Amino acid sequence: MLEFPVKTRTTQIRKHYYYYKLTHVATDCFSLLHRGCTDIVCCIFFIVAIVGYVAVGILAWTHGDPRKVIYPTDSMGQYCGQGKLEKKPLLFYFNMMKCASPMVLLEFQCPTPQVCVEKCPDRTMTLVTAVGKIESQDWGYYKSYCRADPGMKSVPQILQEKLCPAYLISSKPCKAFRCFPSLGKKGEVITVGDQETFNDGDKIRDAKDLVAGMKNATIVMEGRQVAMKIFEDYTKSWYWILICLLIAVVVSLIFIVLLRYLAGIMVWVMIVMVIAVFAYGIVHCSIKYVNLKDTPGANITLQQLGFQPDFSVYLHIRQTWLAFIIILAILEVIIIIVLIFLRNRIRIAVELMKEASRAVGYVMSSLFYPIFTFFLLTIVIAYWGVTAVFLSTSSEPVYKVFNETVCPHARETCIPENFTLSNMKRDCPRSECLFAFYGGETPYHKYLIFLQFYNVFLFFWCANFVTALGQMTLAGAFASYYWAPNKPNDMPAFPLCASLGRSLRYHTGSLAFGSLILAIIQIIRVLLEYIDHKLKGAENKFAKFLLCCLKCCFWCLEKFIKFMNRNAYIMVAIYGKNFCRSARDAFFLLMRNVIRVVVLDKVTDFILFLGKLLIVGLVAVCLKNLFAFFFLQTVLVGSYLIAHGFFSVYAMCVDTLFLCFCEDLERNDGSATRPYYMTVNKYSNKCVIVSLLANFLTETLL
């Protein structure tokens, strides 16, 4: 039998012992034998809430009707362009001047009969004129704008029963499917149908009298027109948007791959290129500003121009480019000043980026995990949006009494079927029972506001849960890399899938707990914003000051909770403890290493943010002269979201490795018996980050 010399045998036994000890420490973090389900109560509560959310959705889809917000509604609550009115998609107002009433802004309904028509009137005439030519085509044309066939009734009877409008005005359909008078201008005089006046069946009026009514009738539709314009632009150029976003994906992937192999060089190249891109933006905006100097109309202010649905109009104003110059210059100065103060810390952060690049290289599937998160968030947002629309349209039509003169029953609820025989009609002969809005008196309608609140709250909870699941999954995968004694041989075969399975199997309750805390804070912020909106016209300065302080405090609290949740999820992924204990451990670990947090973690976050700006800037420089403003804006926002998706993986990797690094420094001392798990330099056999950090702290203290 072969025997080792005593010294050799002792050395090998010691090596095996230390390897076993390191492996045991690493596997202890991820061993399924040491894990159990955490925060079970919150998990059950979350499942019950989801079941209730599904029930709310089913209830809303049963009662709701989205047509109420898509199609205009006539005085009888019927949808124009739907059902038996399929060939009548446009809404026509009997008397547009009635829309000038202030009640329109409160009830969103003009106190005048409204009918669905096939096309808007293209001529101007009165009821008296049309009835006088009852045998001609004019009367047949006029009757197409009546609520019902007047038969052989006289003009006073027709007007008293409000069967037909007193007059027709040449009109045009707007994008909101409503007929509005065709107003124009002759010099400074407003015209309708090329005429300065019109006959309303009672007297001759000026065309300008229609302006106030049209303004109130369109005040609730301006946002919709802007949205329709944006939608039309996107439907015409969606493939170009998709191509540009794919280019952003390719640029982001190339950048990530270069970071994997050339992290040190790429960080400094990225910093220089960000400064160069911002400088180019300043020069480009300055050239545009100078070129518009002698252009007619370019010197008006943004305040004078006001809100314009076509945002490209602003690009022809010098003040717009001046604002761009100022913003870019301020950002450029801030970045340069920050970089000057962080020049020594960046060297340390580069080493952490190198380690993160190695981790991402061994878990390449992590780069595509944001797609899965985006898919889940899309489902959450779509479910919330559809449920909100169905809830808001699940009410019943409410009819109210409208009268041109004083009436004791004005604005009271009525029933159109028997209104002509009711006491309301007898007391107010000239009153009408018209559709006012959608509501209801059933228990379902009484609790509708509660269901909307529940829908918003569950949206925040589910969205935060999806984000938390992504953070814990990535943290578990990258932590398995850090604590592997022999990288990458001791890592799981599929670290990302294994981490996702652990998170869902054991820590759904912890994810739900952290998400619930954040959702509560976010819903409080929404309520504060709602109260602030309601108090816009209030004169109580103390109330405004108090509300402003509350909004600021809850904004800071939300940021702090997000930071703590992120680190708590990392500790849960590593050790498998419950949320509160993990949050406590993460907090005290960070407090014990607060200088390292500033030197390493936050500087690395700043570098990653510069990377996002660089990708967006490169895309903007390449496409600045090719597409319209709306198109370019969409591409830039999409490019930032894509870059954020890829760099969020790096950010999570850096945060995970940083916490593991702090834990590693407290467990081990870098000696032969207790080596660090962080990758060491193959030439010096030392941890580069530890060496640089020690030198930096020494220089700082001295």
Residue 409's nearest CA partner among 439, 429, 390, 394 is 429
Cα–Cα separations (whole angstroms), residue 213 to 97, 162, 386, 403: 5, 19, 33, 17
Residue 164's nearest CA partner among 196, 136, 138, 192 is 138
Phi-psi region at 515: left, alpha or beta (left = phi > 0; alpha = psi -120 to 50): alpha
Say if residue 212's pLDDT is above 80.
Answer: no
Say if residue 229's pLDDT is above 60.
Answer: no
Higher pLDDT, 552 or 100: 552
Express each pLDDT in 592-637 by its tens digit: 877 777 666 667 777 788 788 888 877 777 666 555 555 666 777 7
368 CB-side CA count, 13 A: 5
* pLDDT band with cut points at 50, 70 and 90 for residue 43: very high
Say if residue 186's pLDDT is above 70.
Answer: no
Tell me which range, 334-338, 378-382, 579-583, is most confidently predicted by mean pLDDT: 579-583
Mean pLDDT of 511-524: 95
The CB density around residue 445, as the number of other CB atoms within 10 Å, is 16
Say if residue 701's pLDDT is above 90.
Answer: no
For residue 111, say if its preceding peptide bond is cis, omega within 30 degrees of 0.
Answer: no
Say if residue 228's pLDDT is above 90.
Answer: no
Residue 89's nearest CA partner among 79, 102, 98 is 79
pLDDT at 218: 45
pLDDT at 47: 95
Contact 650, 610 (CB under 8 A): no
pLDDT at 48: 96
Express each pLDDT in 242-293 by its tens digit: 777 788 888 888 887 787 777 778 778 878 888 888 888 899 889 888 888 8
pLDDT at 426: 80
* Cβ neighbours for 283, distance < 8 A, ≥ 6 positions apart: none
Residue 471's nearest CA partner among 639, 642, 663, 651 is 651
pLDDT at 401: 81
Cα–Cα separations (whole angstroms), residue 303 to 59, 317, 413: 46, 11, 43
Tell me which range, 14-28, 227-241, 295-309, 331-345, is most confidently predicted by mean pLDDT: 331-345
Distance from C-alpha of 632 to C-alpha of 640, rounded to nearest angstrom: 12
* pLDDT band with cut points at 50, 70 and 90 for residue 11: very low
CB-neighbour burial class of residue 390 (10 A; exposed 0-12, middle 13-18, buried 19+): buried
Higher pLDDT, 215 or 240: 240
pLDDT at 420: 76
Q: Is the pTM of this model over 0.85?
A: no
Express each pLDDT in 416-444 by its tens digit: 777 877 888 888 877 778 766 666 666 77
Contact 111, 402 (CB under 8 A): yes
Distance from C-alpha of 608 to C-alpha of 357, rounded to nearest angstrom: 12
Q: Which residue has the tokens 């936050």?
A: 602
pLDDT at 108: 44
* pLDDT band with cut points at 50, 70 and 90 for residue 469: very high
* pLDDT band with cut points at 50, 70 and 90 for residue 102: very low
Contact 63, 443 (CB under 8 A): no
pLDDT at 310: 56
Say if residue 686's pLDDT is above 80.
Answer: no
Angle, alpha carbons 462-465-470 (nearest 5°) = 135
Express each pLDDT in 537-561 by its tens digit: 666 778 888 888 999 999 999 999 9
Mean residue pLDDT of the chain comes to 76
Q: Kindly write down the DSSP assignment for every residue of 523-574, as one continuous string.
A: HHHHHHHHHHHHTTT---HHHHHHHHHHHHHHHHHHHHHHHHHHHHHHHHHH
Express each pLDDT in 481-503 by its tens digit: 888 877 777 788 888 999 999 99
Express each pLDDT in 141-156 by its tens digit: 888 888 888 877 888 8
* pLDDT band with cut points at 50, 70 and 90 for residue 567: very high
**Token digits of residue 472:** 């814990």
